[in-house]
Chain A
Amino acid sequence: MNAETSNTGLGADWRDHIFRVFQDHDIKQVYHVPDAGHARLIEHCQRSNAIRTLALTTEEEGVALAAGAWLGGQRSALLMQSSGVGNTINMMGLTKTLRFPFLTLITMRGDYGEFNSWQYPMGQGTPKVLEAMGLLLYPVERAEDVRATVDAAARTAFNGGQAVAVLLRQKLIGIKDFGKKTAK
């Protein structure tokens, strides 16, 4: 049996690759709001004894938590959707004022073939507002690039002391579709 798949429940899915990168980089706290794109990764984190997984009421809590974790000597990651990025912007200023390593992974909506028009404003605004707040952006849209990209982002954050956002593009995640819709 392949060592990577034995006992861990981990396979070749790109979300499993992200979990391995979290392990490799000794990430101890993971913050999230429920998200279909991140669901499999969140479940890996929840099952892990090495990672404390916290559900948030709003994404900005994750930035403050990450600052607190770093003050206490632990690495963390914030998982969110592009629609949640807008909720974090003032709090993202902490990454500049405190200059602490910050890693966030963002599943993109309103990005590529999105069916829900309400997702486009924040989806299209996400890279711009993150850049405005000084984050480095690592977009990825092919499954085979996920592990290397998240690994590089973690190195940039925790070794290079930067605030980094990995944008998991909608082309990678797949287009959410509610199937046949009834318009009222």
Chain B
Amino acid sequence: MSKPTLQRRPLVKQLLDGADDNLLVIAGLGSPNWDVTESGDRPLNMPLWGAMGAPVCMGLGLAIAQPTKRVLVITGDADMLMSLGSLATVAAQQPDNLAIVVLDNEKFGETGNQASHTSPRNNGPTDSGAGADLALIAKGCGIADVGTVRDAAEVAQLVRDARGKKGPIFRLVKVMVEKLEFVMPPQDGAHLKDRFRHALLGHP
């Protein structure tokens, strides 16, 4: 498979372009948090600074509580690998307002770009993974609508699907390994939670 060419930051910017009060975003820890925040810090983003493995289930609980809103989970391959079972938990519930987008750079980016299990096998002594295919895993867990995006020409459709297609949908996006600036949202979790609820419900 050829090396990924998609850049995560402009892609996430497109995913969130024109976000209004109907779009609720959960961002996984590390790079997805900084990616989402660079697109514009907003109260209806819940960017995580920890709780690895939480985003998909947090998105599911939110999607059930708010069935008329669109819930978009944006996270990374390593976070997704830590919570594969949550894909089956989502499939059992079939939330039609939930989209999961996994930005897969095949690395544990925050700890020094070690190979994750989505890296190819036989890639040298320090950079080999398992060739794990998260889209195939999502499909195997019972999410019928899955897809993998590799080319710039597919991004417009990805954005339409993530923002509006009947859920649950799962999209794996193969992205480049890049060294990018940390763009940080507020860190206080209670503040993030309160401003989210205030924007959504009108009270903390």
Bound: A70/B189 CA distance, A? 13
Chain A residues in 8 Å Cβ range of B54: 63-64, 67, 91, 94
Q: How many residue pairs at the A-B interface have CB separations less than 8 Å?
A: 112
Residue B186 at the A interface, CB < 8 A?
A: no
**Stretch in A39-47, A54-62, A106-114, A150-158 with 4+ CB within 8 Å of B:** A54-62
Interface bin, chain B: 35 or more
B17 to chain A: closest CB distance in Å?
A: 23
**Interface presence of B105 (CB below 8 A):** no
**In the complex, chain A residues whose CB is within 8 Å of the CB of B26:** 68
Q: Provide the bound-state CA to CA distance between A29 and B190, in Å.
A: 21
| CB proximity to A under 8 Å, residues B40-64 | 46, 49-64
Mark the stretch among B30-38, B85-93, B149-157 that contacts chain A: B85-93
Contact of A100 with B by CB under 8 A:
yes
Within 8 A of A (CB), among B71-94: 83, 85-86, 88-89, 92-93
Min CB distance B43 to A, Å, is 11
- Minimal beta-carbon separation of A30 from chain B (angstroms): 11
Assuming the A-B contacts A61-B83, A68-B26, are A55 and B92 also in contact, with contact meaning beta carbons closer than 8 angstroms in the complex?
yes
A69 and B190 contact, CB distance less than 8 A: no
A99 part of interface (Cβ distance < 8 Å): yes
A65 within 8 A of B: yes
Instruction: Kindly specify which of A11-19, A71-79, A118-126 makes contact with the partner chain.
Output: A71-79
Q: Which residue of B lies closest to A99 (CB)?
A: B190
Given the contacts A72-B62, A99-B193, A65 and B200 also touching, CB distance less than 8 Å: no
Contact A91 B53 (CB under 8 A): yes
Q: Considering residues A29, A55, A72, A76, which has the most beta carbons from chain B within 10 angstroms of its beta carbon?
A: A72
Contact A73 to B197, CB < 8 A, known contacts A54-B92, A93-B51: yes
Given contacts A57-B85, A65-B57, contact A72 B65 (CB under 8 A): yes
12 further A-B pairs in the complex, CB-CB below 8 A; given A64-B51, A97-B189, A100-B193: A57-B88, A64-B53, A64-B55, A64-B61, A69-B65, A71-B65, A72-B61, A73-B66, A73-B201, A76-B61, A93-B50, A94-B54
Tell me the B residues contacting A by CB distance below 8 Å. 24, 26, 46, 49-66, 83, 85-86, 88-89, 92-93, 189-190, 192-193, 196-197, 200-201
Contact sample, A vs B, 28 pairs, CB 8 Å cutoff: A54-B64, A54-B92, A57-B88, A63-B54, A64-B53, A64-B86, A65-B61, A66-B61, A68-B57, A68-B58, A68-B63, A69-B61, A69-B62, A70-B193, A70-B197, A71-B24, A71-B196, A72-B61, A72-B62, A72-B63, A73-B66, A73-B197, A91-B53, A93-B50, A94-B189, A97-B50, A98-B192, A99-B193
